[in-house]
């Protein structure tokens, strides 16, 4: 990209300096002005091409960044799903422990009442 721009700039340099070196009081001819205009026009075309290439590169980079965000978003979804599964397992374990504790308490009360009846 820079090499092509430098090449066109070197083409303009001799066109301007050769004219000045030849004779400072020489009037620029239409052909001289046309040649410099053509060189300037080619520089603008080169610049437009560089801007287009830059835009293409930026679009590609934005697509890459967007894909990274999609990947991060999918990782958040995976973490959220994993956390949900772990909380469900934890809730189920709490429910089982509560049921076991309740059943053990019920059996202890029944046993106490049985011992109390048998004792009296």
Residue ranges making up the domain that contains 57: 2-88
105 in any annotated domain? no
6 in any annotated domain? yes
36 in any annotated domain? yes
Phi, psi of 28 (to 5 degrees): -70, 135
Count of alpha carbons within 13 angstroms of residue 42, beta-carbon side: 14
Rounded CA separation 26/1 (Å): 36
Tens digit of each residue's pLDDT (9 = 90 or more) over 73-91 = 888 888 999 999 999 999 9
Rounded CA separation 25/19 (Å): 10
Structure confidence at residue 14 (pLDDT) = 56
Helices 2-22 and 30-119 sit at what angle, rounded to 10 degrees? 160
Domain count, the chain: 1
94 in any annotated domain? no
16 in any annotated domain? yes
pTM of the model: 0.41
68 in any annotated domain? yes
- Check the CA dihedral 50-51-53-54 and report its sign: positive
82 in any annotated domain? yes
109 in any annotated domain? no
Residue tagged 């020489």 (tokens):
26
Tens digit of each residue's pLDDT (9 = 90 or more) over 40-84 = 887 777 788 888 888 888 888 888 888 888 888 888 888 999 999
Residue 47: partners with Cβ closer than 8 Å, 6 or more residues away? 5
Structure confidence at residue 10 (pLDDT) = 54
Residue 101 has pLDDT above 90, yes or no: yes
Query: DSSP for 36-52?
Result: HHHHHHHHHHHHHHHHH
Six-digit token pair at 114? 């049985």
Structure confidence at residue 13 (pLDDT) = 56
């Amino acid at each position: 990209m820079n090499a092509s721009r430098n090449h066109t700039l070197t083409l303009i340099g001799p066109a301007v300096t050769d004219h000045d070196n030849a004779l400072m009081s020489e009037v620029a001819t239409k052909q001289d002005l046309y040649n410099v205009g053509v060189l300037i026009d080619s520089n603008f075309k080169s610049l437009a091409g560089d801007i287009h290439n830059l835009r293409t590169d930026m679009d590609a980079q934005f697509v890459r960044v967007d894909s990274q965000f999609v990947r991060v978003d999918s990782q958040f979804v995976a973490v959220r799903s994993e956390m949900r599964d772990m909380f469900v397992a934890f809730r189920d374990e709490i429910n089982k422990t509560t049921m076991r504790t309740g059943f053990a308490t019920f059996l202890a009360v029944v046993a106490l009442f049985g011992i109390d009846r048998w004792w009296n």
